[in-house]
Amino acid sequence: MAQTKVLIVDDETDILDLLEYNLEKESYEVLRAMDGEEAISIARDHKPDLIVLDIMMPKLDGIETCRQIREIPGMDQVYIVFLTARSEEYSEVAGFEAGADDYITKPIKPRVLLSRLKAILRRKSSEEPSETLKVHDLEIIRDEYIVKQGDRELTLPRKEFELLNFLAARPGKVFSREILLEKVWGDVFVVDRTVDVHVRKLREKLGDSYIQTVKGVGYKFANK
């Protein structure tokens, strides 16, 4: 069985050493990069299963690095965890807008980090089987993370797709932001506004008629 390949990216050598030591103890194959440009090159060449990515880095910050990695063929669905000393809400939201799956603040606690990475990888291994969901004029191809809308074909970032898939599978049912965070983001610690950001991006791509706001409650997929 192939080792799970983890790319760790940080401009501080002691942090890379700490992460590498603890990941290798858990039998992960570890790749290292010290800046965003190097991370993009390694991601392109080695296709890691998961990336732990610092935000504050030279050359390219983590957010722009994440965006560029998502554009590499075959890397649009890789799991990316941001590692940062910044705890401001705006940086967290910006991270998820760029396509991050999780967000961990420094100082690093190796046990906590390993637990979060294992939880993410468990979600990956238990993703829904190949199936196509047809609702209204949308065709949601779950195993390919593709949405077809008439003649248009869209490849959505992971969390946008998962949010759309979750709501579309339950048309007419209203979900609060808290429930959506629990069901779509799992045990990731994010702010409620993250849901609003992803809904806005879906509306920009698909139109406003699919996901409806229920004032004071949350969101639902239109039950036409």
What are residue 99's DSSP bridge partners? none
Residues 6+ apart with CB under 8 A from 40: 60, 65, 68, 69, 72
27 contacts: CB under 8 Å, gap ≥ 6 = 3
pLDDT tens digits for 78-124? 888 888 776 555 566 677 777 777 778 788 888 888 888 887 777 66
Ordered DSSP codes for 40-107:
HHHHHHH--SEEEEESS-SSS-HHHHHHHHHTSTT-TT-EEEEEES---HHHHHHHHHHT-SEEEESS
- Domains identified in the chain, total number: 2
Do the Cβ atoms of 136 and 162 come closer than 8 Å? no
Q: Are residues 75 and 31 in the same domain?
A: yes
Q: Is the pLDDT of residue 19 over 90?
A: yes
Read off the CATH number of the domain in which 66 is found: 3.40.50.2300
Kindly tell me if the per-residue pLDDT of 9 is higher than 90. yes
Residues 9 and 117 both lie in one domain: yes
Domain co-membership, 9 together with 110: yes
Residues 209 and 185 in one domain: yes
Whether the pLDDT of residue 126 is over 80: the answer is no
Tracing tokens 């732990």 back to the chain, one arrives at 52
Global pTM reads 0.62
Averaged confidence pLDDT in the chain: 85
The verdict on 139 and 111 lying in the same domain is no
Same domain, 151 and 101: no
| Domain identity same for 115 and 19 | yes
pLDDT value of position 116 = 82
pLDDT score, position 179: 86
pLDDT at residue 40, rounded to an integer: 96
CA distance 51 to 66: 9
Q: Give residue 50's domain range.
A: 5-125
CA distances from 196 to 89, 160, 211 (A): 13, 11, 11
CATH number of the domain at 163, please.
1.10.10.10
pLDDT (tens digit per residue) in 28-69: 999 999 999 999 999 999 999 999 999 888 889 888 999 899
28 and 81 both lie in a single domain: yes
Q: Is the dihedral of CA 202, 71, 191, 81 positive or negative?
A: positive
Claim to verify: residue 45 and residue 78 sit in the same structural domain = yes
The domain boundary, picked from 99, 125, 151, lies at 125
